[in-house]
Amino acid sequence: MLFVNKQKEIQSQISEYCASVLECMDSFQEAVKQYCDNSDRKAVKASFAQVHKAESKADDIRREIEVLMYSKSLFPESRGDIMGLLETMDRVPNQAESAIRMIWNQYVTIPEQHSSELLNLVDVCCRAAYAMVDAAEKLFSDFTNAAVAVGKIDELESEGDRIEASLIEKVFSEKNDSISTIVFRDFIKCVVQISDRAENVGDRIRIIVAKRSI
């Protein structure tokens, strides 16, 4: 009975964690969109703070899960796998927060002509993060099919890479040698890392399922 209760507790904490990751990604997408529409720092400060808040909340829940899992609720192997998975997952909202911080600290200028493509990149990266959360949740509902859900992350990661390459090429084709171009390029790279990190989570999920394949 004790094991069942702890299992339910872990499962509900993980659902809460996934929800906070999704919340962070939604806030991130909204904040970038708002910044593209109006680059006034004061106007976007609140939405940037929202990203940070959601990321911190995800961090707190992850730590709670770690403590819960060390109270002898799982096989040592599963405990290690799930902790590793959560730590890898945590890098996705962290990256979203880094991108927002970059905008704030480095005064990133988003050229109007590239904003729609940038928003498309942000959308793809966020969808990769949603696919990651979906695959992770599958582990806790129908684990043998979690590997199938990972395929979607790979597709979105490839799409993100394609948009990144195309966008950087367009930015530099304008022969504008200003520092803001370099900063914008770095920002694009920072954003696309969200999907790269989601892909790393997908790889971990594949390994977790493969280790338990019969």
**Is residue 144 a contact residue for another protein (CB under 8 A)?**
yes
**Is residue 176 a contact residue for another protein (CB under 8 A)?**
no
Query: What's the closest the beta carbon of residue 11 comes to another protein, in angstroms?
Result: 6
**Is residue 77 a contact residue for another protein (CB under 8 A)?**
yes
Query: What's the closest the beta carbon of residue 131 comes to another protein, in angstroms?
Result: 18
Phi then psi dihedrals of residue 212, to 5 deg:
-105, 10
Query: What's the closest the beta carbon of residue 8 comes to another protein, in angstroms?
Result: 9
Choose which of 142, 155, 174, 203 interacts with another protein (CB under 8 A): 142
Judged on CB neighbours under 10 Å (0-12, 13-18, 19+), 164 is: buried
Query: What's the closest the beta carbon of residue 87 comes to another protein, in angstroms?
Result: 17
* Interface region with another protein, contact rule CB under 8 A, candidates 124-132, 140-148, 156-164, 192-200: 140-148
Looking at beta carbons only, is 116 or 144 nearer to another protein?
144
**Is residue 74 a contact residue for another protein (CB under 8 A)?**
yes
Choose which of 75, 173, 177, 210 interacts with another protein (CB under 8 A): 75
**Is residue 82 a contact residue for another protein (CB under 8 A)?**
yes
